């Protein structure tokens, strides 16, 4: 019932993602969110780094930049500074945003620059063959963790909020309507918005962890979901390895480009 045609580059379809990969679900939900907010297509810019998830920009019919691994937010910051009226949306992976691009993530959050970042968190480096990422859970197997992973995971919500983002929400591909709603809320926020969407890479992650089909991975994601309202009454032990979903932060605070114009440009031009 939703017509995606207006927003996609039809000649690039069918897309390259594996059968059942959640990336397509996030792409579609993002399109519905952008449609809902009603922005003119020419006022939207989509920017991505490198990874399976970052291919999203290539399928969307907006002005777009498919940049360097980890650097989507650096490019996005430049675009937003040069063209403040542009609505800038970043598509990035857990590796792209949390590993090589982690620094850009925390500083975009610190500045509270008006950019919406959608993190496709599939707990792995999908594109390069299943190396562990900053969100691979402990004890799970990756090509670079053949005996099971021992590192602690990043919590994108705590990271974004701690660094200063004014909007942070987590959802999963098992609930496409919620993905759409949270991205829509993030787009509405004037400031830095992070929407983490927990997704499935059954090919590079699931396959090595006894979940080789998308349905098995969806079941695994679903059984770990705890809505935020419920999580409030649970202990830290009970919440271990769970996926808490909800809007973690949604506040108003000064936005970087507006502050820059007010405090720096105004003074520089006044001199």
Contacts with other proteins: how many residues (CB under 8 A)? 25
Interface with other proteins, residue 24, by CB under 8 A: yes
Select from ligand SF4, other proteins, ligand TPP, none the partner in contact with residue 14, using the beta carbon and a kind-dependent cut-off of 5 to 8 Å. other proteins
Residues 103-122 binding ligand TPP (CB under 6 A) are 120, 122
Comparison of 164 and 176: residue with beta carbon closer to other proteins: 176
Comparison of 133 and 181: residue with beta carbon closer to ligand TPP: 133
Residues 166-205 binding ligand TPP (CB under 6 A) are 201
Give dist(CA 44, CA 262) in Å, integer. 24
Which one of residues 214, 221, 244, 256 is an interface residue with other proteins (CB under 8 A)? 214
Using the rule CB under 8 A, give the single segment among 25-33, 139-147, 181-189, 234-242 that binds other proteins: 25-33
- Tell me the DSSP string of the chain: ----GGGB-GGG-S-SSPTT-THHHHHHHHHHHHHHHT--GGGEEEEE-SSTGGGHHHHB-SEEEE-STT-HHHHHHHHHHH-TTSEEEEEEEHHIIIIITHHHHHHHHHHT-SEEEEEEE-SEETTTT-EE-TTPPTT--BTTBTT---SPPP-HHHHHHHHT-SEEEEEETT-HHHHHHHHHHHHHSSS-EEEEEE---TTTTGGGGT--SHHHHHHHHHHHEEEHHHHTTS-TTTTTT-EEEEEEEE-----HHHHHIIIIIHHHHH-
Q: How far is CA 39 from the centre of its chain?
A: 20
CB of 94 to other proteins, least distance (A): 18
Which one of residues 126, 186, 206, 246 is an interface residue with ligand TPP (CB under 6 A)? 126
Comparison of 210 and 233: residue with beta carbon closer to other proteins: 210
Select from ligand SF4, other proteins, ligand TPP, none the partner in contact with residue 133, using the beta carbon and a kind-dependent cut-off of 5 to 8 Å. ligand TPP
CB of 129 to ligand TPP, least distance (A): 9
Provide φ and ψ at 136, rounded to 5°: -65, 125
Give dist(CA 243, CA 156) in Å, integer. 11
Contact (CB, 8 A) for 66 and 91: no
Which one of residues 46, 204, 209, 245 is an interface residue with ligand SF4 (CB under 6 A)? 204
Interface with ligand TPP, residue 128, by CB under 6 A: yes
Q: How far is CA 126 from the centre of its chain?
A: 15
Select from other proteins, ligand SF4, ligand TPP, none the partner in contact with residue 214, using the beta carbon and a kind-dependent cut-off of 5 to 8 Å. other proteins
Residues 27-56 binding ligand SF4 (CB under 6 A) are 52
Which one of residues 13, 144, 222, 251 is an interface residue with other proteins (CB under 8 A)? 13
Interface with other proteins, residue 218, by CB under 8 A: yes
Select from ligand SF4, ligand TPP, other proteins, none the partner in contact with residue 13, using the beta carbon and a kind-dependent cut-off of 5 to 8 Å. other proteins
Residues that bind ligand SF4 (CB under 6 A): 17-18, 21, 23, 52, 122, 126-127, 201-204
């Amino acid at each position: 019932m939703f017509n995606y045609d207006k927003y996609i580059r039809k000649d690039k379809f069918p897309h390259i993602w594996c059968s059942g990969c959640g990336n397509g679900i996030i792409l579609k939900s993002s399109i519905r969110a952008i449609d809902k907010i009603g922005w003119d297509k020419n006022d939207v810019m989509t920017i991505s780094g490198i990874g399976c998830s970052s291919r999203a920009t290539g399928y969307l019919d907006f002005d777009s930049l498919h940049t360097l691994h980890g650097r989507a937010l650096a490019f996005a910051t430049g675009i937003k500074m040069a063209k403040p009226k542009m609505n800038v949306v970043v598509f990035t992976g857990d590796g792209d945003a949390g590993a090589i691009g982690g620094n850009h993530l925390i500083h975009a959050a610190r500045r509270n620059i008006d950019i919406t970042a959608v993190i496709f968190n599939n707990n792995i480096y999908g594109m390069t063959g299943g190396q562990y990422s900053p969100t691979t859970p402990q004890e799970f197997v990756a090509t670079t963790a053949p005996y099971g992973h021992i590192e602690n995971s990043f919590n994108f919500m705590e990271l974004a909020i701690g660094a200063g983002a004014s909007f942070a929400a987590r959802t999963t591909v098992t609930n496409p309507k919620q993905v759409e709603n949270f991205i829509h809320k993030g787009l509405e926020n004037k400031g830095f918005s992070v929407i983490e969407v927990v997704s499935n890479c059954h090919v590079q992650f699931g396959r090595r962890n006894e979940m080789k089909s998308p349905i098995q991975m969806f079941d695994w994601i679903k059984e770990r979901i705890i809505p935020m309202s419920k999580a409030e009454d649970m202990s830290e032990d009970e919440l271990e390895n769970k996926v808490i979903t909800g809007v973690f932060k949604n506040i108003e605070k000064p936005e970087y480009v507006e502050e820059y114009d007010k405090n720096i440009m105004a003074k520089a031009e006044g001199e």
